[in-house]
Chains A and B, each alone.
Chain A
Amino acid sequence: EVRLVESGGGLVKPGGSLRLSCAASGFTFSPYSMNWVRQAPGKGLEWVSSISGSSRDISYTDSVKGRFTISRENAKNSLYLQVNSLRAEDTAVYYCARDRASAGRYFYAMDVWGPGTTVTVSS
């Protein structure tokens, strides 16, 4: 079964840090681009960051640049998001999601999602 499972969320004070992890199973992890997407309480989805299979291509939404760092360890089938200098507006469920691929072609669409991990930033 193709599966993604996030961990590492929690309650943190403003200015604090966390390291979110996403464990992949049931598929060959290394070729796939991966994403972090977040959803604040009662709000829509917000794309946070993407990383290519080789880690060569990395991108971030403007509001997290300089504070968040995406990385991956293909040997461990794992995706990470280091979140620093946290603000109240970073409070959200954080999902990891895989970009779709088929017949050697990669798509800008997320076809596998984890259940999410909750980050709450509050004093």
Chain B
Amino acid sequence: QSALTQPASVSGSPGQSITISCTGTNGDVGGYNYVSWYQQHPGKAPKLIIYDVTNRPSGVSNRFSGSKSGNTASLTISGLQAEDEADYHCASYTSSSTRVFGGGTKLTVL
């Protein structure tokens, strides 16, 4: 049950777009369309922003989008805003009927 691999940090300026990658294996990210993404502000609980690779829950901005190619999923945030500064975590269902998270990525809005 190794954690999914995410970059430790990414940054971008307001209005720009950034992409966060999440790399797993055939046994998790590559094997199922059950990748989810979570936004977490400091001291707060995580918030679901993407599920089933590409779907946004009601109320989540369409500036957030998800995709997947092979064993790597990606989260793209377009039109960066100051309030997007947070930690972002990916997760996947696995072939062992468990879940696995990535190590988390800190997004800094410059």
Contact = CB atoms under 8 A, between A and B. Distances in A.
Interface stretch (B13-21, B69-77, B78-86, B99-107): B99-107
B99 A116 contact: no
Interface residues of A, number: 25
Contacts, number: 73
Q: Is the interface of A mostly helix, strand, loop or mixed?
A: strand
A78 B40 CA distance: 25
Interface stretch (A7-15, A18-26, A107-115): A107-115
**Which of under 10, 10 to 19, 20 to 34, or 35 or more describes the interface residues of B?**
20 to 34
B36 A108 contact: yes
A25 B52 CA distance: 26
Interface of B: 1, 3, 6, 32, 34, 36, 38, 40, 45-48, 51-52, 57, 87, 89, 91-93, 96-104
